[in-house]
Structure 1
């Protein structure tokens, strides 16, 4: 086992970390060099203000990249009504202009959610260290990058020095083996993992996801998996780059080109855990055990298969557990023992940095096509970027959704969090493809249920949670597709 960068066998985490250490001292955090700093409008204003107060410049503006996503309206995007939101957007524009940072703003056809546009533009590459003032920076680990969220004071430190002090976490290997069942997605895999092991299983760790299931995932599926690793408490997560990774990156706007790209691929192939390297903890998962999942409570671990039944308060459990369940049941409006399939929803949201990529929209459209949204449901689709929106419209996906009764929106974080116009009214339920179901996350008193895009689509059509496996077989082309024909 190697933890100190010696010649011994290394995990991919060791390789990524050790290759970026600038300063290392015993019993102190390491100083890491940062290859890419992603910036958005919410967590950056104070950091730039701090630079001005200290009369400092941005150390490497060429390694910074900014966009607007959290506060952006997805209808009438240039009319930001909230005063604070509008100020944050205007401030980012001024800061990027003053400090020479590239910004994909509201008028850009490359604007979008920061964790969507980084990969699609080829900014996210294997071997990089990537930070952003956003928890779900872990998404970029799907490319074999060391990527994690940072706070506002750390944003300022990276802007000023292009480095960051960090204690090296422990390492966990989550091996997922086997074939997923019909109608089961990457979103279900990560929800199942958190439901089984809890929101603290990854605390103090960086996770490497590995195994045959992960190797068979598309890049979009890998990004979904890494995106929500933070909800398991992990500092970050990573997947070793392979031919799937290289194929995705090839031709991207900022990716290396031609001979340089081929040389990079050869280097990136070494970003794999050595066969005899060891981890601090290993968890093995049988993919065949996983079903379509739905959260019922106020954190992602409160999650059950669609066939499940909401728990009641258990007198034999600890005081802390009883208190947690009691509060979740009260907030979510449950008494306990309700069947998941009997829960009605009033809103459906397909979007967020977890599930707003083109493949997510394609999958959801296949469930929706030829059907109608339930009369009691308001359903919206929010592409993760303007590029995703354009590509989806070329495929006619927007028309499928519109014909079914969905709203088709511009790109942004939207209903993932209550920082823009897309709010779930108090006491109403939303089947959401986002990543957090905390109390008030989608608006005061909003009741959020996390699901996959195809499960959200099924809920929109039926007005309640529905086992998508009972919907998909009705379409011959879907049966063939999922059977691998």
Structure 2
């Protein structure tokens, strides 16, 4: 029997039918929905007179359009479209008996934060969601990927998807991660190295001693942003850290099933002699704190660098939009806003890292800054650790949970021409508001920029250990 990658094993274990050499019918263990991408799928389902085949295999959440300021009723949401999306989500879930984590549920938060912290996703699962950052679940050894509206309808009706197999890429990162660097810097380095389309058509498996040393939360950051290199799937073999992370979670296997589950999870790894279609190696000691200068996540550099000369039309357009000149020092770029949040970087570990920079400091007088915890649970834990006080005393606003300024679908919007240091995953034109200019970086780099008022190498600040 030929050696197989973890990705190939997961596809084979969920194979319902082989359609042709490239395409299979894939069984989906778990499907996640948000209020923004699911309404049209339900409308199609209802028009065809179909029911949800297995309601218990689905979870719905509200996270994209909700305000992060306190409200006590959906009717307080000013945006009519947002109100309708939230109410439609509730109606659809009630009609089909699907579990809903709504705005007033104590578990509420961003889908890719809530799902892991409650133990809904386990190693070996296939997980789909109408959101491209579903790759996050690869940190658990689960095959997660984003799907479109017609595919959401299909999985609701059949619990399967017509799926085109991907090629295999392995990204190996070895060595100790340098001081001042985080998982965000690892994945931004990968994206900058291979390009925004460098992993198109591939599933990436991350490996190496650097990856193994990371926490599960940090691994989620890497898998989350793998899609920004074009990957439709990201994977890491589950290990002791993953197993301990899941132990005791509300939706993890219960005590009577735990040993069996754990034994099966420990078998999930690529065979030692498995062949990958492409291999990429990165030495950890070459990684530095990263920032983006353009309008694509691969238009990035170490913060100590300079704005590059454009070598293609897309670079020139990006510099024009960002109002930057080649040769400028990145650390001379002044910011107007700072945002810590998103499904990439709003977990408790992220907030702790940022708080280390902010403790005893104040943000620059011209900077507006907000922090949006990824879930109510993260917010409560941060408050129990007095992190909220650190943010507030530094001058940040302390908000409720939601996608917020990551994609500016609620009240949290950067103004035309405003420049934002952001812990999010995308820096596209207008992503954080019409005409807004986004620089991606780690949460601690956002905190450093907020304090100094410009892009800043966090290593030049005294960081508490």
Please report the TM-score for the alignment, with normalisation by the length of structure 1: 0.94
Moved over 4 A (4+): none
Distance 1:249 1:270 in 2: 16
Deviation at 1:10, TM superposition (A): 1.2
1:72 and 2:66 are equivalent in the alignment: yes
Shift of 1:303: 0.3
1:360 corresponds to: 350
1:347 — aligned with what? 337
Correspondence 1:149 to 2:139: no
* Other-structure match for 1:222: 219
For residues 388 and 350 of structure 1, the distance between their equivalents in structure 2, rounded to whole angstroms, comes to 13
SS in 2 for 1:231: helix
Match status 1:111 vs 2:108? yes
Please give the alpha-carbon distance, in whole angstroms, between the structure 1 residues aligned to 2:213 and 2:194. 23
- Give the secondary structure class of the aligned counterpart of 1:379: strand
* 1:211, distance to aligned residue in structure 2 (A): 0.5
Q: Which residue of 1 aligns with 2:253?
A: 256
Distance across 1 between alignment mates of 2:256 and 2:277 = 38
2:38 to 30, 33, 44: 44
Q: CA deviation at 1:462?
A: 0.6
Cα distance between partner residues in 2 of 1:56 and 1:259 = 36
Corresponding residue for residue 421 of structure 2:
431
Structure 2 partner of 1:275? 272
The yes-or-no answer on 1:370 pairing with 2:364 is no
Describe the SS at the equivalent of 2:438.
Answer: strand
- Secondary structure of 1:399's match? helix
Output aligned runs, 1:319-398, within 5 Å: 321=312, 323-398=313-388
**Shift in Å at residue 259 of structure 1?**
3.8
**Aligned mates of 1:264, 1:440 — CA distance in 2:** 44
The match for 2:94 among 94, 97, 103 is: 97
Instruction: Show the counterpart of 2:20.
Output: 26
Residue from 431, 444, 448 that aligns with 1:458: 448
SS of equivalent to 1:32: strand
User: 1:110-149 counterparts in 2 under 5 A?
Assistant: 110-149=107-146
The Cα of 1:195 is off from its aligned counterpart by 1.0
User: What's the counterpart of residue 266 of structure 1?
Assistant: 263
State whether structure 2 residue 189 is matched by structure 1 residue 192. yes
Give the Cα–Cα distance (whole angstroms) in 1 for the partners of residues 372 and 19 of structure 2.
46
Say which SS state the counterpart of residue 294 (structure 1) adopts. Answer: strand
Tell me by how many angstroms 1:124 deviates: 1.2
Q: CA deviation at 1:373?
A: 1.1
SS in 1 for 2:424: coil
SS at match of 2:113: helix
Partners of 2:117 and 2:448 lie apart in 1 by 28
Is the Cα contact below 8 Å between 2:19 and 2:25 reproduced in 1?
no
CA-CA distance at 1:76 after TM superposition: 2.8
- For the 8 Å contact 2:330–2:455, the answer to whether it is kept is yes
Determine the structure 2 residue equivalent to 1:16.
10
Shift of 1:260: 1.4
* Greater displacement, 24-33 / 135-144: 24-33
**Over residues 12-41 of structure 1, what are the superposed CA-to-partner deviations in whole Å (9 max), with x where a residue is unaligned?**
111111000000133352000000000000
Unpaired stretches in structure 2, ≥5 consecutive residues = none
Distance 1:299 1:80 in 2: 31
Identify the residue that residue 201 of structure 2 maps to in structure 1: 204
